[in-house]
Amino acid sequence: MELKEIVLKENELEIKPDWGKIFKRKAPLFLEIGIGNGEFIVWIAKKNPESNFIGVEVSKKYLRKAVNRVVNEGLKNVRLMYIEGSKFISKFLERETLSGIYINFPDPWLKKKHKKRRLISQPFIWLVADRLTLEGFFLMVTDCEDYAKEVAELFSECPAFLPLWDSPVKINLIDYYLTKYARKWLSQGLPLFYIGFKKHKRVEIPEWVYKFYPLAKFSEEETLPENILEVNEKVDFFELAKKLPRGIVWKREEEVIKILDIYYKEDGILIDTLVVKGFLKQRFFITIKLYQGKKIIIAIHDSDKPDITEEVHKAIIIVTLEIQKVFKNSRLVKSTCKRKFFEPLQSELLHKLKIEDKISKLEKF
Taking the domain 3-217, which CATH number applies?
A: 3.40.50.150
pLDDT at 260 exceeding the cut of 90: yes
CA–CA distance, 65 with 32 (Å, rounded to integer): 15
C-beta separation of 36 from 68 below 8 A: no
Tens digits of per-residue pLDDT, 2-57? 777 899 999 899 999 999 999 999 999 999 999 999 999 999 999 999 999 999 99
Looking at residue 117, its pLDDT comes to: 81
Looking at residue 253, its pLDDT comes to: 85
Tens digits of per-residue pLDDT, 70-127? 999 999 999 999 999 999 999 999 999 999 999 999 988 777 777 788 899 999 999 9
Tens digits of per-residue pLDDT, 153-182? 999 999 999 999 999 999 989 889 999 889
Strand 29-33 and strand 52-57: the pairing is parallel
Q: Within the chain, which residue ranges are assigned CATH 3.40.50.150?
A: 3-217
CA–CA distance, 104 with 40 (Å, rounded to integer): 9
Percent pLDDT > 70 in the chain is 95
The count of other CB atoms within 10 Å of the CB of residue 49 is: 11
Residue 139: beta bridge partners?
102, 196
CA–CA distance, 150 with 113 (Å, rounded to integer): 16
**Nearest alpha carbon to residue 278 among 122, 97, 93, 74:** 122
What's the order of all strands across the beta sheet hosting 255-265? 247-252, 255-265, 268-277, 280-291, 295-300, 226-230, 331-335
CA–CA distance, 230 with 293 (Å, rounded to integer): 9
Output the pTM of the full model: 0.85
Active site residues: 107
Sign of the CA dihedral with 151 first, then 153, 158, and 163 last: positive
CA–CA distance, 219 with 217 (Å, rounded to integer): 6
CA–CA distance, 106 with 92 (Å, rounded to integer): 21
CB contact burial 126-144 (16+ within 10 A = b; e otherwise): bbbbbbbbeebbbbbbbbb
Looking at residue 361, its pLDDT comes to: 37
pLDDT level of residue 350 (50, 70, 90 thresholds): low
Give how far the C-alpha of residue 140 lies from the chain's centroid of Cα atoms, to the nearest Å: 21
Looking at residue 342, its pLDDT comes to: 80
Tens digits of per-residue pLDDT, 187-212? 998 899 999 999 999 999 999 999 99
The stretch 55-72 carries a mean pLDDT of 96
Looking at residue 222, its pLDDT comes to: 78
Looking at residue 195, its pLDDT comes to: 98
Tens digits of per-residue pLDDT, 310-329? 999 999 999 999 999 999 99
Instruction: Indicate the residue type of 216.
Output: A
